[in-house]
Structure 1
Amino acid sequence: MRATRLFILGALADGGPMHGHKIRAAAQLDRVELWADIKPGSLYGALRRMADEGVVEVVRTEQEGNLPARTVYGITDKGRADLVSLIRSVLADTRLRPDPIQLVLLHGGEIGSDELRTAVRQRRDSYAAQLDFWRNLRAEAEPYLTRLEATAFDYTLMRLETELTWHDRLLAELAELAELADTAERPDGTGSPGGAPLQESGNQ
């Protein structure tokens, strides 16, 4: 909800009063669902709730031809104060969100090393596909980007590049562990490489 409020208040502060359809069109044009947890279809309900809170207000009603009448909203003084508060809150929020993949690696032996490596490789390929998508999107948008918009694109690109680098490292680690487990099993021929534990020998 914080991202949705930030987008709506920012759009009204920058673009002046507008109706919900225009705000949604701006969201779709900017592809905000790629940048933040915002669903364009939820903007109408958010606008009505924000009007009840007094951060936006109904300015007028417009009707073009046979189209349904549309309510035009504007930002209030309370809304501008809320926008400033939201901006400061986001800038101050540096929490590193935990990722369950860390727990998966602790217990990955439950599904076997072969299945784990396959799943990690698929994750890696998914991140690579996302990186290609964002690189192409940035190239298409390049002529229209401001300097800060370009920097925002780079933030996403660099995060995906880091994910790709880390998954490549993880795949190398898993391959080395599998090779060590296979070597340890050769003298008597017992055990199953596919179900070999992931822990280092020092942890046993």
Structure 2
Amino acid sequence: MSATRLLVLGVVRGFGRTHGYRVRAELLSWGIDDWANVKPGSIYHALRQLARDGLLEASEIMDWPGRVDYSVTPEGDEEFFRLLVDALERPERRDDTLRAGLALMPALSRDRAVAALSRRLGVLEAQRAVLREESGTARAEGLPPHLAELWRMRMRYADLGVEWTRDLLERVRSGEYELAGEDRDPFGAPGSRQALGAPSAH
């Protein structure tokens, strides 16, 4: 799944109706050049492709030659939430996809965010248990000490994933973040504006 696709859908949805330059400016104000593999050109390409796919409605502005405004279609709204939940609950996704999911998590209701993160935690805990068993078997079979470091590294990463997800889940449960349906900023990110309009709760 493309993080760009999720981010672009999310920002257009947040504004309600907007044009490419505004989407690009909003995303850059979130610092995506530091944490997502999103180039300015890919934003415009995503807008056009999403419109071709029927997920965005494109409207040419007659008084402004060359300008096209975009809004999310009902199908696009469904796709946005599918991509968002998928980004949060499936740990096998790329890091930039998870980051996009975190950036747009405020579009979810608290219950929906808790459900997605709970599923993520369950998968990570199961993966860690399997890894721990495989690691013990490998060491018992006389794995050379330097190769055992590979297992130690994998276990550390597995522990980190579980601990971070558990901590995030607790923060979401406790009400630490601003989520949909709570009359707050729809993005909760730097550069966002109340004028964007709060998304519907999912």
Q: TM-score, normalised by structure 2?
A: 0.44
Q: Which has the higher contact order (CA 8 A, sep 6+)?
A: 2
Larger Rg: 1
